[in-house]
Structures are given as structure tokens and as C-alpha cells.
A and B are shown apart, each in its own frame.
Chain A
């Protein structure tokens, strides 16, 4: 499972990602990067802002959705685009990460689409001998 980091998949009205990771930490960080790549080209983002993000939830699936929704929120409200995610602490109910990125600059960042939210639709974190995988559908 864990060779690629993520791929974008077809969903008629919306857009989805399939994310892989050798560890759950990697899965969460790759999912965040996949989200960034849905919004803009991650290569165009500089690491100017260091932003701690901490979330508590009921289970791991929920935690993943809430983690992604928090990043969507930070973009919508504070206009911060992220490219690097150092996950310091992660268990099935809690994540603590430092996210690196910068404020949206219309001259340098080509915005591909507005992502409204990460959904719970067909969401399930799977595990096989290579690591972890998950599909997330976003409302766009």
C-alpha cells in the first residue's frame, strides 16, 4: 500500500483522495498534503508560518476528518496554505502537529478549487502488510 503518498480519484460531484502511509502519522500527514494539492500546487507554498494544530476526537476515522476540516478552516478564515506537517503526537483520539506554510498570495498561488469540507462518506482507514490507506471524499 505505502509506495505512493496519495492520488486523486473521481467522484461525480466532488473530489476524492486515496492516501497511503507506512505509519498512521504518515497517513495523516500525507492526507493533509493531498488536501493542499487539491487547493493549490504545494511546491508554490513557502514555509513562512509555523502553526500548531491540536485536535481531540472520538476515534481515528473521526480524527482524520476533523484534522482535515481544521486545515480547511484555517485556509478559509486565516488564508493559510500549508505544505509540511510535523506530527508530534498521534493516537486514535488525539493529534498534535506543527504545520508549516504561508498566507495565500494571489500572485504566486494558483488556486485550483474551493474545498468546503472533508466528508465521512465511505471513509475507512484500512491496514495491510505495507501500511495504511484511506479514501476521503471532499465537498467542493
Chain B
């Protein structure tokens, strides 16, 4: 792996620029959100070259951006944000990734650590049984092709109609859990076949479900609007996406885009950046298929949230309502969206690619729930397994600077392979248990890949976003129990 040798211009302590003359073909400069310390680890790998490569894409506006949790991906880096002018810009499936609408959902409860800790093993076991996870896992919901088409159009609404959760959940889900331009006619039989059995499954890899305890509240007034009122309060975080369905959609559309690149004469430094004009047939087809996968993911998290409520209800012998198990929010962190932004004083329609980045809209924005109009959109940032997670809110500065985007997690520093070589899953599990964290997984060896040592310090990532002003930290929580696929 080669180090970054290029030029970086310091703008201030948290903003760095890759000049557009770094590589011939860059249309805009690169902008990196990082501290001097974090920049050192970022420069150890090729993610900044990838930021420069993204700057080649036609129609890119202002900057090719990197959040502080940036790490080397394929094509786009993970932690990359790029907005393309709808009029003359492109859409790239690589700018979304294979796990379309991978995202996070947070539930709050009335429970405290003292009430949950004595039953944590029981709870984790119950959740593990109730929520299918791990490789090759199949869901409990059996549907036919017709129902699948409805699901792809309706997203989380489809799930709520079938009694999984309530309409209140939809109010606090990005896009209300349904992207409008979803068109199942753009979905292949293969994607249908891959997706149908996997609805309501957590999956594996870095996907997880955590029972967490609030440890710090930085902004009590903002937190209370989210229903988070005290330290030691219990939260539940669900991290999963569109499973094999999204992977298939991405794979197939990359193939289409490969051809589009030569058809439209687009020059690219990496084939994985394959793209097509947003307004072209290829571009529109991808957007419609991607919306189906996004809806699938919202449906997936809606099912899982329902089973989480069921499991808590069973263990505590109280209804989810009595336990106060309300949804705080649900965000996507792998997605492309058509949004309106102000660029150089003009209103511009852009396609914002967020690959490993979270939308962070400010207070007053018309696309955020009424409940959060005064505080800004909640941003959910899971840390690595065993460390801590954060809740933040979007800001006006994010709107001005980063197309309303902030970080999405801790960001890797150690490759999965290197983590496996230097760490043992069993030891990682024992280490967590020594700290009082109960973990249950179908595949203990893969724990090594997700160990804390494999990630950047999420505290630092959050602080950079906070200091740079693109999100404002509100709550810090640590895990008590973890389910990993």
C-alpha cells in the first residue's frame, strides 16, 4: 500500500485541500475534514488518491469531499461525499456502494442500566433468536414476487401496513422510509430472487445490533427532544442495509455503467467509478433501482426494530409502549439523493453521493421531521464494536459547506485481513466480556475483523466534525450487549 505523496494545503485546523492541479483531469479540488493527527493515518493509504479520482467525475460541484472517517474503498473512498449538478453531471453506483442504504436506526427506552444489566444475557439471547443474522440467514417473512414489488415501491410503509411498528416510526425515518422514484421494473429476476428470502435479516460483516447505555449528554435540551433525558438510559442501535438485494442491484448497474462510460465519452481514472449522466436512461434506471434497494433497506430495519420491541417486551413482560420504545431516527449512510442546495448564491439541483457519510440537515430544513425542526436532523454515528457511539445533529454550516453531510462511523485503520492475522476472535470476545459487554455472534472468528484496534478512535472523528461545524455532538453511549451476524 503506497503512501500519499501529493500536496495538501491547510485551510484551518480541520479543513485541508487537495489542489485541483494535483492530477490532470480533476474538475474541482478535494476537501478533507481532519485534524493534523488524523491526517497522518489517512495519508498512510490511498484514500486521498481516490478523493482526487472522484474529482474527475463530470458535473461535480465545489469539492470532492472526505469526512474524517475516510478510508480506502474501491472507486470512491468510504467517507466520501460528492454532489453532481443534475443538469450536466453523472451518477455513479460506486459512489453509493454495494450495500445500498446501509444505515442506522436508533430506538430509545424508559429503561435504565440498573434494570437491564441483570437481564442482559437473557435479552441478548432472545434478540439473537428473534432476529435472523449471519451468513446465509433467511428471514421469517415469506413473500411472493407481487408482494416484493409492492415492498420495493412502498419501503418501510409496506412493513408498517403489515403491523411491524407504527406510522410514528415513519415520521422519524429519512425520506419517511420510502424513496419516491423506485421502479421495480428496473429490477432483474436475479435481484428479486436474491432479495426475497433475506427481508428482515441483519446480515454479517460490520452489521450489528447493540443495546447501549447513555454515558454523556452534551446538549441536554436537544437530547430531550429525542427522548433522551438521563445518563444510564438504555438505547438500541440497529446497523444493517439492503443485504444481497442491494449488492445485486449495484453489481448489475455497474455493468450497465461500464458501457455508458464509453457511450458518453467519459474519461475515468478507475473503472469502479463507472457512471452515466443523471438525466440519461442509464442514470435514471440506476436511480430507480437504487431507490428500490433503499426502500428494501428501510423495510429491513423496520422489521428488525419490530422484533427488538417484541424481544424487550417478552423479557420485561411489558408492552413496547410501556417501555417507551420509540424510534429516535433512522439514517442512510450509503446513498445518492437528488437535493436542492445553494451553490455560489444560486439554488442548484444536485445529486449528492454519500458513501459512508450521513445526511446532516440543519434546524428549519423542510425535509426533516416536524419534531426535530428546532434542533436539526439527528445524526446517528455508530462507533466500532465495544467502544462508543454518538448522536449528533445537523448544522447550517454542513448545509453551506458539505452539502448537508457529516461522518458515518469510526473508519477503518486496519484491513480485515491484517486484523484477522493480528487478533483472534475469541480473545476479542473475552476482552469485551471482561468489560461487561455481552456479545453473541454466529461467527466468532470474524469478530477479529471488527475489533476496536481495526478502527480509528470514533471520539476523535466526532470531535473533528463538531469542531469543523458540520455536526454538533449531543449524546455518547456505550454498548452493554452486542449481536453480530
A residues neighboring B (CB under 8 Å): 8-15, 58, 61-62, 66, 69, 72-73, 75-77, 79, 104, 110-114, 116-117, 119-123, 137, 139-140
Contacts and interface: CB of A to CB of B under 8 A. Distances in A.
Given A10-B415, A10-B417, A112-B446, A120 B194 contact: no
B78 interface: yes
Nearest to B190: A73
A104 B136 contact: yes
B139 interface: no
Interface string B188-202: 001001100100000
Range of interface residues on chain B?
A: 35 or more
Closest A-B pairs by Cβ, 8 of them: A121-B74, A120-B271, A121-B272, A10-B415, A12-B72, A119-B74, A116-B247, A114-B204
A113 B244 CA distance: 14
Contacts of B255: 62, 66
A121 B95 CA distance: 13
Contacts of B128: none
A77 B198 CA distance: 9
A121 B270 contact: yes
Interface of B: 1, 45, 47, 71-75, 78, 97-99, 134-136, 190, 193-194, 197, 203-205, 244, 247-248, 250-251, 254-255, 258-259, 270-272, 274, 412-418, 443, 445-446, 449, 485
A10 to B, nearest CB: 4
A113 B73 contact: no
Given A104-B136, A113-B204, 4 more contacts: A58-B259, A117-B247, A121-B74, A139-B247
Nearest to B258: A62
B74 A137 contact: yes
A113 B98 contact: no
A61 B74 CA distance: 16
16 contacts: A10-B1, A11-B417, A12-B72, A13-B71, A13-B412, A69-B251, A113-B204, A114-B203, A114-B485, A117-B250, A117-B251, A120-B74, A121-B271, A122-B74, A139-B97, A139-B98
A71 to B, nearest CB: 12
B272 A140 contact: no
Contacts of B418: 10
B349 to A, nearest CB: 29
A9 B136 contact: no
Contacts of A73: 190, 194, 248
Nearest to B416: A15
Contacts of A9: 417
A85 B449 CA distance: 29
B416 A120 contact: no
Nearest to A122: B270
A111 B134 CA distance: 10
Contact of B205 (A114, A120, A121): A114
A76 B244 contact: yes
Contact of B75 (A15, A61, A110, A119): A119
A49 B251 CA distance: 26
Most chain B CB within 10 A, of A69, A121, A137, A140, is at A121
B136 A111 contact: yes
Among A13, A104, A117, A121, find the residue whose CB has the most chain B CB atoms closer than 10 A: A13
B260 to A, nearest CB: 12
Contacts of B244: 76-77, 116
A139 B446 CA distance: 15
A14 B94 CA distance: 14
A11 B417 CA distance: 8
A15 B45 CA distance: 15
A67 to B, nearest CB: 12
A117 B205 CA distance: 13
Interface centre among A14, A61, A79, A123 (most CB of B within 10 A): A14
B222 to A, nearest CB: 32
Contacts of B254: 120
A11 B270 CA distance: 16
Contacts of A72: 247
A114 B135 contact: yes
A14 B75 CA distance: 12
Contacts of B134: 111
Contacts of B205: 113-114, 116, 140
A111 B71 contact: no
